Amino acid sequence: MHKNYNQNDSLLLPPSLGELIPLTHPVRIVSDILDKFDISDIESTYKSGGTSSYHPRMLLKVVVYAYLCNVYSGRKMEKLLHENIHFMWLSGMNRPDFRTINRFRSERLSGGRLEGVFTKVVELLNSEGLVSLNVQYIDGTKIESVANKYTFVWKGSVEKNKAKLVNKVREVLSAAERELAIEESSEAPEELPQDEFERRSERILSKMDSMGISKGKQRRLVEKTVADSVEKINEYDRHLETLGERNSYSKTDPDATFMRMKEDAMNNGQTKPGYNVQVSTENQFITNYGIYWRPTDTGTLIDYLESFNDRYGRQSTEIVADSGYGSEQNYKYMFDGGMIPYVKYNMFHAEMKRKYKNNPFLPDNMYYNKEQDYYVCPMGQHMDFAYYKKEKSELGYISTKQVYMAKDCSRCPLRGMCYKGKVDRRTIEVNHRNNAYRAKARELLMSEEGLMHRSKRPIEPEAVFGNIKFNHGFKRFRLKSAEKVSVEWGLVAIAHNLRKYIARKTEKSNCQRLFIANIGAYLECCRAA
């Protein structure tokens, strides 16, 4: 006997798609959550008049659920809207093409509008007690841009080639001026090279015209050199304007900076265009994110913490991060802002080792007299204060170091073990303010609360990055420009949070059903007894 099998689809009452989707399916939870949010800022991007457009709430649900299902391509989303019952039910049988989906994702959700949706998701998690927003586990990762890896523009090369071109043109013009006996007039120092070349070439050509030189090798050389150089110098200036403070950028994605990625297939340290993605996590939920062009994490922390405050109108009490964020400027910002920074610095683990503690030649292990401001070397010689030394970071922060010098180390028997300089006076540089910040951070990190945060930090943001990259296959952005990349990562973060939220809800409901079933079985046994 076989069950009835009939491919005739002419049914009197066709089945509803909703009947085929379980009540606890993730697509229903995503739809219910996004129905609660106000998306008036997204709706405001639509203009009145013309033909009707697809509803932005429907498109938002489709895109978010697609990212939750590891689908990041607009064409694949369009295909699923024709084939997958979950997407068909979610869209209400609307079938926008991939152009509409991509335009909605890159244009309608940009300008901070998707960040509002992300913030509402985190506030929902906060209202249900899944995150407190009182602690941030911060870390960053580099994700490759969609730009080609051979479209690089390096600031050093641009400046070098521009200087060579300017010198070459000046030599050509100077040679022509000497031959024509033209004295170069002094001009203001603010004069741009291209303005200088045009002015000097006009004088040279006018002189040639007065002398009846309308043709010739020298005239052609002056005309061609100036015309080509001015165009090339303008191109170099456009490159430098795009670069700004950066050292590199990609021609096809000017917001992307060339960085060394963790996923290095050739294992040769090749740089690729990408973005530095910063995230904050709590209970492995993403509570904040930011996109930066700086390859290092140190210069991103202050702006990133301010973005958290702008998003929620409050700041976390505790900040937990690795040694990539432990700079004097960052410590000052966090301590002055009332935050508790469980943030390592670059020498934290080295200071814990016996080799470091037992080395008497290190400035940290020398005796320091604070009242008279001098250090004592292992041989008992005073190293007196000599002068102040100021250093300016790439962010413009000025740190002050104090330089201490010994009187004479020429006859010291420990000189070879103490230092390797050729001068017979050892010099040490000490940043007392930074040392004070590090001492406070060390005390926090070694406390019971600090040990707890240090044990949780590797399984917080790093686990989130590993899950997104390797379990869900998001290793490269598909949109260009920092604004659109922020939208794309925002969708990834929303999908990650909803995925974990659904898993928590499903686990909780399964436990409740199991508890009810066990209670029912226990009552039946009691009745039988």
Which of 108, 129, 145 finishes a domain? 108
For the chain, the average pLDDT equals 88
Q: How far is 91 from 233, CA to CA, in rounded Å?
A: 53
Residue 175 inside a domain? The answer is yes
Asked if the structure places residue 137 within a domain, the reply is: no
Question: Closest Cα partner for 481 from 279, 257, 278, 299?
Answer: 257
Residue 202 CA, distance from chain mean position = 49
pLDDT score recorded for residue 462? 93
Q: Can you tell me the distance from the alpha carbon of 146 to that of 254, in angstroms, rounded to the nearest whole number?
A: 11
Tell me how far apart the alpha carbons of residues 233 and 517 are, in angstroms, rounded to a whole number: 79
Same domain, 361 and 426: yes
Whether residue 413 lies inside any domain: the answer is: yes
Residue 162 has pLDDT above 60, yes or no: yes
Give the end-to-end CA distance of the chain in Å, rounded to a whole number: 44
| CA 484 and chain centroid, separation | 13
- Please tell me whether residues 102 and 173 are part of one structural domain: no
Higher pLDDT: 172 or 294? It is 294
β partners of residue 321: 343
pLDDT > 70 in the chain, percent: 92
Bridge partner list, 142: 276
- Domain, as residue range, for 431: 350-435
Q: What's the rounded Cα separation, in Å, for the pair 401 and 383?
A: 15
Distance between CA 319 and CA 287 in Å, rounded? Answer: 13
Given a contact cutoff of 8 angstroms between Cβ atoms, the answer to whether 90 and 68 are in contact is no
Q: Domain tally for the chain?
A: 3
* DSSP 8-state secondary structure symbol assigned to residue 186: P
CB atoms within 10 A of CB 439: 10
**pLDDT tens for each residue of 17-64:** 888 899 889 999 999 999 999 999 999 999 888 888 999 999 999 999
Q: Is residue 71 part of a domain?
A: yes
Residue 494 lies in a domain: no
Average pLDDT over residues 295-305: 93
Q: Is residue 218 part of a domain?
A: yes
- Residue 367 φ then ψ, to 5°: -75, 135
Residues paired with 276 in a beta bridge? 142, 292
Flag whether 339 is in a domain.
no
Inform me whether the pLDDT recorded for 102 exceeds 50. yes
Region 212-225 average pLDDT: 74
| Alpha-helical regions (H) of 286-418 | 301-312, 328-336, 348-351, 354-357, 415-418
Interval 383-401: pLDDT, tens: 999 999 999 988 889 999 9
Q: Which of 81, 108, 135 is the last residue of a domain?
A: 108
CA distance 40 to 50: 20
Asked which of 108, 138, 162 is the last residue of a domain, the reply is 108
Residue 463 lies in a domain: no
